[in-house]
Amino acid sequence: MRLLLSAAFVVAAAGPIHAMTWSLDSYVDYPLVDENETGLQLTQGIAWNAAAGEWVTSWQYGLARFTEDWQFISATGHIDLSTMNVVSGIPQELADQGFDHIGDFEVRDGVIHASLDSAEGDYQNGHVALFDAVTLEYLGDLYPMIGDETNPRNDVASWTAIDAETGLGYGKEWQLGDTINIYDVTDWSFLGTLEMDQSLSSIQGAKVLDGMMYLSSDNDTMSIYGLDLSTGHVTELFQLDGVDGASIEVEGLALRTLGDGTVEMYVEMIANPGGGSELDAYTRLYRYVGIPSPVPVPATLPLALSGLAAFALARRRR
Protein backbone atom coordinates (compact mmCIF):
# COMPACT_ATOMS: atom_id res chain seq x y z
CA MET A 1 0.00 0.00 0.00
CA ARG A 2 1.33 3.45 -0.95
CA LEU A 3 0.06 6.00 1.54
CA LEU A 4 0.64 9.38 -0.08
CA LEU A 5 -0.14 12.01 2.52
CA SER A 6 -1.77 15.26 1.50
CA ALA A 7 -0.98 18.61 3.12
CA ALA A 8 -4.22 18.51 5.05
CA PHE A 9 -3.27 15.18 6.52
CA VAL A 10 0.19 15.91 7.85
CA VAL A 11 0.01 18.90 10.18
CA ALA A 12 2.17 18.31 13.24
CA ALA A 13 0.37 18.12 16.54
CA ALA A 14 2.79 20.31 18.44
CA GLY A 15 1.58 23.89 17.94
CA PRO A 16 3.07 26.50 15.63
CA ILE A 17 5.78 25.70 13.13
CA HIS A 18 8.75 28.05 13.43
CA ALA A 19 10.64 29.82 10.70
CA MET A 20 14.32 30.12 11.61
CA THR A 21 16.99 32.63 10.76
CA TRP A 22 20.25 30.68 10.74
CA SER A 23 23.78 31.97 11.20
CA LEU A 24 27.15 30.25 11.54
CA ASP A 25 28.39 30.52 15.11
CA SER A 26 31.64 28.53 14.99
CA TYR A 27 33.34 25.35 13.87
CA VAL A 28 35.99 23.03 15.28
CA ASP A 29 38.26 20.68 13.32
CA TYR A 30 38.86 17.27 14.91
CA PRO A 31 41.62 15.06 13.44
CA LEU A 32 40.42 11.56 12.63
CA VAL A 33 43.33 10.03 14.50
CA ASP A 34 43.87 12.11 17.63
CA GLU A 35 44.20 10.46 21.06
CA ASN A 36 40.51 9.56 21.29
CA GLU A 37 39.97 9.41 17.52
CA THR A 38 37.39 12.16 18.03
CA GLY A 39 37.18 13.08 14.39
CA LEU A 40 36.62 9.45 13.47
CA GLN A 41 33.72 9.20 15.92
CA LEU A 42 32.04 12.15 14.14
CA THR A 43 32.03 10.73 10.62
CA GLN A 44 28.47 9.39 10.29
CA GLY A 45 25.82 10.69 12.66
CA ILE A 46 25.06 12.76 15.70
CA ALA A 47 22.16 13.16 18.15
CA TRP A 48 21.42 14.79 21.51
CA ASN A 49 20.56 12.42 24.36
CA ALA A 50 18.42 14.74 26.49
CA ALA A 51 17.92 12.13 29.22
CA ALA A 52 21.66 12.04 29.96
CA GLY A 53 22.63 15.52 28.80
CA GLU A 54 25.15 14.05 26.34
CA TRP A 55 25.91 13.91 22.66
CA VAL A 56 25.94 10.55 20.93
CA THR A 57 27.77 10.10 17.63
CA SER A 58 28.45 7.35 15.12
CA TRP A 59 31.10 6.26 12.69
CA GLN A 60 30.86 3.42 10.20
CA TYR A 61 31.76 0.74 12.74
CA GLY A 62 30.68 2.12 16.10
CA LEU A 63 29.12 4.63 18.47
CA ALA A 64 30.51 7.21 20.89
CA ARG A 65 29.46 9.51 23.74
CA PHE A 66 30.54 13.08 24.45
CA THR A 67 29.72 15.60 27.18
CA GLU A 68 27.63 18.64 26.40
CA ASP A 69 30.84 20.62 25.70
CA TRP A 70 32.27 17.87 23.49
CA GLN A 71 34.63 16.10 25.87
CA PHE A 72 35.09 12.43 24.96
CA ILE A 73 33.45 9.87 27.29
CA SER A 74 33.49 6.46 25.63
CA ALA A 75 33.26 4.68 22.29
CA THR A 76 32.77 1.31 20.66
CA GLY A 77 35.31 0.33 18.05
CA HIS A 78 38.42 2.16 16.88
CA ILE A 79 41.26 2.09 14.40
CA ASP A 80 44.44 0.36 15.53
CA LEU A 81 46.93 3.08 14.67
CA SER A 82 49.84 0.64 14.68
CA THR A 83 48.33 -1.36 11.84
CA MET A 84 45.59 1.03 10.57
CA ASN A 85 43.15 -1.87 10.85
CA VAL A 86 39.55 -1.33 11.91
CA VAL A 87 38.52 -2.80 15.25
CA SER A 88 34.76 -2.89 14.76
CA GLY A 89 32.33 -1.91 17.49
CA ILE A 90 29.41 -3.50 15.65
CA PRO A 91 28.23 -6.46 17.77
CA GLN A 92 29.24 -9.81 16.33
CA GLU A 93 25.66 -11.03 16.00
CA LEU A 94 24.97 -8.04 13.72
CA ALA A 95 28.26 -8.33 11.84
CA ASP A 96 27.42 -11.98 11.16
CA GLN A 97 24.34 -10.75 9.28
CA GLY A 98 26.48 -8.60 7.02
CA PHE A 99 26.02 -5.26 8.75
CA ASP A 100 29.10 -3.09 8.33
CA HIS A 101 27.73 0.45 8.20
CA ILE A 102 26.07 2.64 10.86
CA GLY A 103 24.51 5.85 9.53
CA ASP A 104 22.91 8.87 11.16
CA PHE A 105 20.36 8.09 13.87
CA GLU A 106 18.07 9.44 16.56
CA VAL A 107 17.90 8.98 20.33
CA ARG A 108 14.44 8.51 21.83
CA ASP A 109 13.88 7.99 25.57
CA GLY A 110 17.48 6.95 26.09
CA VAL A 111 17.51 4.49 23.19
CA ILE A 112 19.51 4.87 19.99
CA HIS A 113 17.56 3.97 16.84
CA ALA A 114 20.54 3.33 14.56
CA SER A 115 20.32 2.85 10.82
CA LEU A 116 22.32 -0.18 9.67
CA ASP A 117 23.21 -1.45 6.23
CA SER A 118 25.73 -3.59 4.36
CA ALA A 119 28.25 -1.50 2.44
CA GLU A 120 29.79 -4.70 1.07
CA GLY A 121 26.34 -5.61 -0.23
CA ASP A 122 25.86 -2.27 -2.01
CA TYR A 123 23.41 -1.03 0.65
CA GLN A 124 20.55 -3.45 0.03
CA ASN A 125 20.07 -4.61 3.64
CA GLY A 126 18.61 -1.62 5.50
CA HIS A 127 17.64 -2.21 9.14
CA VAL A 128 17.23 -0.33 12.41
CA ALA A 129 18.96 -1.64 15.53
CA LEU A 130 18.38 -0.38 19.06
CA PHE A 131 21.22 0.47 21.46
CA ASP A 132 21.33 1.86 24.99
CA ALA A 133 22.37 5.50 24.64
CA VAL A 134 24.55 5.43 27.80
CA THR A 135 26.17 1.99 27.75
CA LEU A 136 26.13 1.84 23.91
CA GLU A 137 25.18 -1.83 24.24
CA TYR A 138 23.03 -3.53 21.63
CA LEU A 139 19.57 -4.20 23.07
CA GLY A 140 18.81 -7.14 20.81
CA ASP A 141 16.07 -5.41 18.80
CA LEU A 142 16.53 -5.38 15.03
CA TYR A 143 13.91 -4.32 12.47
CA PRO A 144 13.93 -4.27 8.66
CA MET A 145 13.80 -0.74 7.22
CA ILE A 146 11.77 -1.17 4.05
CA GLY A 147 10.96 1.67 1.68
CA ASP A 148 8.03 2.29 -0.62
CA GLU A 149 7.10 -0.44 -3.11
CA THR A 150 8.79 1.61 -5.86
CA ASN A 151 12.11 1.19 -4.00
CA PRO A 152 11.83 -1.14 -1.02
CA ARG A 153 15.53 -1.93 -0.54
CA ASN A 154 18.00 0.14 -2.55
CA ASP A 155 19.98 2.29 -0.09
CA VAL A 156 16.99 3.29 2.06
CA ALA A 157 18.73 3.26 5.47
CA SER A 158 21.29 6.08 5.45
CA TRP A 159 19.62 7.63 8.49
CA THR A 160 16.70 7.57 10.88
CA ALA A 161 14.75 10.52 12.26
CA ILE A 162 11.98 10.57 14.87
CA ASP A 163 9.37 13.23 15.57
CA ALA A 164 9.26 13.37 19.36
CA GLU A 165 5.76 14.89 19.32
CA THR A 166 4.05 12.35 17.06
CA GLY A 167 6.28 9.32 17.60
CA LEU A 168 6.63 8.76 13.86
CA GLY A 169 9.90 7.70 12.28
CA TYR A 170 11.33 8.84 8.97
CA GLY A 171 13.91 7.84 6.38
CA LYS A 172 14.71 8.42 2.72
CA GLU A 173 16.38 6.59 -0.12
CA TRP A 174 19.83 7.89 -1.12
CA GLN A 175 18.90 8.36 -4.77
CA LEU A 176 17.06 11.39 -6.14
CA GLY A 177 13.42 11.33 -5.08
CA ASP A 178 10.55 13.50 -3.90
CA THR A 179 9.22 11.36 -1.05
CA ILE A 180 10.11 10.72 2.59
CA ASN A 181 9.33 7.30 4.05
CA ILE A 182 7.23 7.21 7.23
CA TYR A 183 7.54 4.46 9.86
CA ASP A 184 6.00 3.17 13.06
CA VAL A 185 8.96 3.44 15.45
CA THR A 186 7.74 0.61 17.68
CA ASP A 187 8.90 -1.84 15.00
CA TRP A 188 10.01 0.43 12.13
CA SER A 189 7.30 -0.94 9.87
CA PHE A 190 6.54 1.13 6.78
CA LEU A 191 3.41 3.32 7.01
CA GLY A 192 3.55 5.41 3.85
CA THR A 193 5.25 8.36 2.22
CA LEU A 194 5.21 12.11 2.50
CA GLU A 195 5.50 13.89 -0.85
CA MET A 196 7.88 16.85 -1.07
CA ASP A 197 7.62 19.69 -3.57
CA GLN A 198 11.28 19.26 -4.52
CA SER A 199 13.35 16.18 -5.26
CA LEU A 200 16.40 15.64 -3.05
CA SER A 201 19.31 13.23 -3.19
CA SER A 202 22.40 12.30 -1.17
CA ILE A 203 20.72 13.01 2.17
CA GLN A 204 23.13 11.98 4.93
CA GLY A 205 21.10 12.82 8.03
CA ALA A 206 17.91 14.39 9.32
CA LYS A 207 16.23 15.52 12.53
CA VAL A 208 12.71 16.74 13.33
CA LEU A 209 11.96 19.76 15.52
CA ASP A 210 8.66 21.64 15.90
CA GLY A 211 7.09 20.27 12.74
CA MET A 212 10.15 20.83 10.58
CA MET A 213 12.59 18.24 9.29
CA TYR A 214 16.16 19.41 8.84
CA LEU A 215 18.25 17.48 6.31
CA SER A 216 21.97 17.52 5.48
CA SER A 217 22.96 16.76 1.90
CA ASP A 218 26.24 15.62 0.39
CA ASN A 219 25.26 17.18 -2.94
CA ASP A 220 27.36 19.58 -5.00
CA THR A 221 26.22 22.60 -2.97
CA MET A 222 26.54 20.90 0.45
CA SER A 223 23.06 22.17 1.27
CA ILE A 224 21.10 22.05 4.51
CA TYR A 225 17.37 21.86 3.85
CA GLY A 226 14.21 22.45 5.84
CA LEU A 227 11.12 20.34 5.09
CA ASP A 228 7.78 21.57 6.41
CA LEU A 229 6.02 18.35 7.41
CA SER A 230 2.62 20.07 7.18
CA THR A 231 2.93 20.96 3.50
CA GLY A 232 5.86 19.05 2.03
CA HIS A 233 7.54 22.35 1.13
CA VAL A 234 11.35 22.20 0.93
CA THR A 235 13.57 25.23 1.55
CA GLU A 236 17.33 25.43 1.22
CA LEU A 237 18.37 26.98 4.53
CA PHE A 238 22.07 27.49 3.81
CA GLN A 239 25.14 25.91 2.21
CA LEU A 240 28.24 24.75 4.04
CA ASP A 241 31.55 26.31 3.11
CA GLY A 242 34.02 23.89 1.60
CA VAL A 243 37.75 23.65 2.22
CA ASP A 244 39.98 24.72 -0.70
CA GLY A 245 41.86 21.80 -2.18
CA ALA A 246 40.16 19.21 0.02
CA SER A 247 37.79 16.39 -0.81
CA ILE A 248 34.62 16.87 1.20
CA GLU A 249 31.80 14.68 2.46
CA VAL A 250 28.87 16.10 4.43
CA GLU A 251 27.51 13.74 7.08
CA GLY A 252 24.84 13.88 9.81
CA LEU A 253 23.36 16.69 11.86
CA ALA A 254 21.68 17.30 15.21
CA LEU A 255 19.50 20.01 16.74
CA ARG A 256 18.35 21.01 20.18
CA THR A 257 16.46 23.96 21.65
CA LEU A 258 18.40 26.03 24.19
CA GLY A 259 17.12 27.76 27.31
CA ASP A 260 16.88 31.16 25.62
CA GLY A 261 14.61 29.79 22.89
CA THR A 262 17.26 29.67 20.18
CA VAL A 263 18.11 26.43 18.42
CA GLU A 264 21.59 25.09 17.85
CA MET A 265 22.43 22.84 14.94
CA TYR A 266 25.61 20.80 14.59
CA VAL A 267 26.62 19.50 11.15
CA GLU A 268 29.46 17.07 10.43
CA MET A 269 31.73 17.47 7.40
CA ILE A 270 34.75 15.26 6.61
CA ALA A 271 37.64 17.05 4.89
CA ASN A 272 40.68 15.38 3.38
CA PRO A 273 43.18 18.07 2.32
CA GLY A 274 44.59 17.44 -1.11
CA GLY A 275 42.92 14.04 -1.18
CA GLY A 276 45.98 12.64 0.61
CA SER A 277 46.36 10.13 3.39
CA GLU A 278 43.46 9.56 5.76
CA LEU A 279 45.95 10.44 8.50
CA ASP A 280 45.57 14.04 7.31
CA ALA A 281 41.78 13.98 7.27
CA TYR A 282 39.62 15.64 9.89
CA THR A 283 35.98 16.23 10.74
CA ARG A 284 34.80 19.81 10.80
CA LEU A 285 31.93 20.19 13.27
CA TYR A 286 29.88 23.26 12.38
CA ARG A 287 27.68 24.97 14.93
CA TYR A 288 24.81 27.09 13.59
CA VAL A 289 22.33 29.06 15.68
CA GLY A 290 18.71 29.57 14.66
CA ILE A 291 16.49 32.35 15.93
CA PRO A 292 12.81 31.35 15.66
CA SER A 293 9.95 33.47 14.37
CA PRO A 294 6.55 31.88 15.12
CA VAL A 295 4.34 31.31 12.09
CA PRO A 296 0.63 30.79 12.96
CA VAL A 297 -0.89 27.49 11.91
CA PRO A 298 -4.65 27.67 11.15
CA ALA A 299 -6.57 26.07 13.99
CA THR A 300 -8.95 24.41 11.54
CA LEU A 301 -6.32 22.16 10.04
CA PRO A 302 -6.44 18.61 11.45
CA LEU A 303 -3.71 17.27 13.71
CA ALA A 304 -2.89 14.64 11.17
CA LEU A 305 0.43 13.19 12.15
CA SER A 306 -1.05 12.36 15.52
CA GLY A 307 -3.82 10.70 13.56
CA LEU A 308 -1.30 8.70 11.60
CA ALA A 309 0.37 7.61 14.81
CA ALA A 310 -3.03 6.50 16.08
CA PHE A 311 -3.53 4.64 12.81
CA ALA A 312 -0.27 2.81 13.44
CA LEU A 313 -1.45 1.83 16.91
CA ALA A 314 -4.74 0.55 15.56
CA ARG A 315 -2.91 -1.39 12.87
CA ARG A 316 -0.73 -3.10 15.47
CA ARG A 317 -3.81 -4.22 17.40
CA ARG A 318 -5.28 -6.13 14.49
Q: What share of the chain is helix, strand, coil (3-state, %, to 5)?
A: 10, 50, 40
Q: pLDDT at position 279, please?
A: 77
CA distance 121 to 109: 32
Q: pLDDT at position 274, please?
A: 72
Q: pLDDT at position 81, please?
A: 85
Architecture of domain 4-316: 5 Propeller (2.115)
- Domain boundary assignment for the chain: 4-316
pLDDT in tens, the chain (318 residues): 333 343 333 333 334 456 889 999 999 999 998 888 999 999 999 999 999 999 999 999 999 999 999 999 999 999 998 888 999 999 999 999 999 999 999 999 999 999 999 999 999 999 999 999 999 999 999 999 999 999 999 999 999 999 999 999 999 999 999 999 999 999 999 999 999 999 999 999 999 999 999 999 999 999 999 999 999 999 999 999 988 888 999 999 999 999 999 999 999 999 998 766 777 899 999 999 999 886 555 544 434 455 555 545 444 444
Element (H, E) at 314: helix 304-316
Q: pLDDT at position 8, please?
A: 30
Sign of CA dihedral 223, 229, 290, 104: negative
Q: pLDDT at position 244, please?
A: 86
